């Protein structure tokens, strides 16, 4: 279930109208996103209910507290971004190039966001804080991008471009690496262009997909030959 459906299921009104409950949860998250755009995560619950136009008790029907709301905000951001990336990559025939696109667009989003309160620094700071408190919930919140990568890794394996033994774990590792690099440059000044950073990250991932400790770079060579024709 999506975060909105899970939030709706926590509300007593769901028995009367589940659709209404989902929409109410989404409205609360949209209100939080508007406040985050103005001041980051420093908004209060009172400010939230005023922005959403609801009673405080209505907020607590859907979310146990502000942390659970922020987890829902992050999941909504990741899910929306993953869906957008998938749509944008539909014209790319090569699944490996689609993976490269997904990695690149995440890295290059750092340049687009700049230092806005709701940008990469908000995501980074809240991701690590919330992960230390709610690791399972945060793993679920970031899963949409991992699932997107897994689909492409499985497609690349099906076409014989790579020999991924465990696409789910490979996707998890790539997701962790992409998040780590993203979080680093959310605060650290970029020592190269974000395109160069994305290209280096992709080269590292491609070698990881294709190489094997016992077989050197043979798999990488075969994959490149297949792609060349």
State pLDDT tens for residues 101-130: 999 999 999 887 665 646 788 889 999 999
Handedness of CA 99, 104, 107, 109 (dihedral sign): negative
Instruction: Please give the share of the chain, as a percent, with pLDDT higher than 90.
Output: 65
| Chain mean pLDDT for the chain | 86
| 20-24, 63-67, 203-207, 213-217: least confident range | 213-217
* DSSP 3-state of 212: strand
* DSSP 3-state of 216: strand
Residue 75 has pLDDT above 60, yes or no: yes
Better-predicted residue by pLDDT, 56 or 118: 56
Tell me what pLDDT residue 5 has.
67
- In angstroms, rounded to a whole number, what is the distance separating the alpha carbons of residues 124 and 140? 16
Say if CB 146 and CB 172 are below 8 A apart.
Answer: yes
Residue 64 has pLDDT above 80, yes or no: yes
Tell me what pLDDT residue 125 has.
92
Q: Which helix (H) or strand (E) holds 181?
A: helix 167-187
- In angstroms, rounded to a whole number, what is the distance separating the alpha carbons of residues 123 and 178? 14
What backbone phi and psi angles, to 5 degrees, belong to 216?
A: 55, -135
The residues near 3 (Cβ < 8 Å, ≥ 6 apart) are 25, 29, 71, 72, 75, 76, 79, 141
Tell me what pLDDT residue 115 has.
59
- In angstroms, rounded to a whole number, what is the distance separating the alpha carbons of residues 168 and 146? 8
Tell me what pLDDT residue 214 has.
44
Tell me what pLDDT residue 225 has.
57
Residue 83 has pLDDT above 50, yes or no: yes
pLDDT band per the 50, 70, 90 thresholds, residue 213: very low
The residues near 114 (Cβ < 8 Å, ≥ 6 apart) are none
Residue 58 has pLDDT above 90, yes or no: yes
Over residues 64-83, mean pLDDT:
95
Say if CB 45 and CB 66 are below 8 A apart.
Answer: yes
For the domain bounded by 3-64, which CATH number is listed? Answer: 1.10.10
Say if CB 147 and CB 77 are below 8 A apart.
Answer: no
Domain with residues 68-228, CATH architecture: Orthogonal Bundle (1.10)
- In angstroms, rounded to a whole number, what is the distance separating the alpha carbons of residues 99 and 174? 10
For the chain, which residues make up each domain, given as ranges?
A: 3-64, 68-228
pTM of the model: 0.82
Residue 209 has pLDDT above 70, yes or no: yes
Handedness of CA 100, 102, 103, 106 (dihedral sign): positive
Tell me what pLDDT residue 215 has.
41
Tell me what pLDDT residue 182 has.
95
Q: How does DSSP assign 182-205, residue by residue?
A: HHHHHHSPPSS-HHHHHHHHHHHH
Residue 188 has pLDDT above 50, yes or no: yes
Tell me what pLDDT residue 113 has.
67
Tell me what pLDDT residue 216 has.
38
């Amino acid at each position: 279930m999506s975060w909105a459906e899970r939030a709706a299921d926590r509300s007593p009104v769901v028995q009367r109208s589940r659709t209404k409950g989902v929409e109410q949860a989404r409205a609360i998250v949209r209100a939080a996103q508007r406040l985050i755009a103005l001041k980051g995560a420093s908004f209060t619950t009172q400010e939230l209910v005023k922005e959403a136009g609801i009673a405080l008790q209505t907020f607590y029907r859907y979310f146990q507290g502000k942390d659970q709301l922020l987890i829902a905000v992050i999941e909504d951001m990741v899910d929306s971004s993953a869906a957008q990336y998938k749509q944008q990559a539909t014209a790319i025939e090569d699944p490996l190039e689609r993976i490269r696109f997904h990695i690149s667009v995440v890295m290059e989003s750092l340049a687009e966001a700049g230092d806005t309160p709701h940008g990469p620094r908000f995501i980074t700071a809240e991701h690590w804080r919330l992960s230390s408190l709610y690791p399972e919930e945060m793993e679920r919140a970031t899963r949409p991008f991992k699932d997107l990568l897994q689909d492409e890794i499985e497609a690349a394996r099906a076409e014989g471009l790579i020999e991924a033994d465990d696409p789910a774990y490979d996707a998890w590792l790539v997701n962790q690496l992409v998040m780590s690099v993203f979080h680093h440059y959310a605060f650290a000044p970029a020592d190269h262009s974000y395109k160069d950073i994305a290209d280096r990250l992709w080269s590292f991932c491609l070698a990881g997909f294709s190489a094997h400790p016992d077989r050197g770079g043979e798999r990488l060579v075969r994959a490149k030959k297949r792609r060349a024709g």
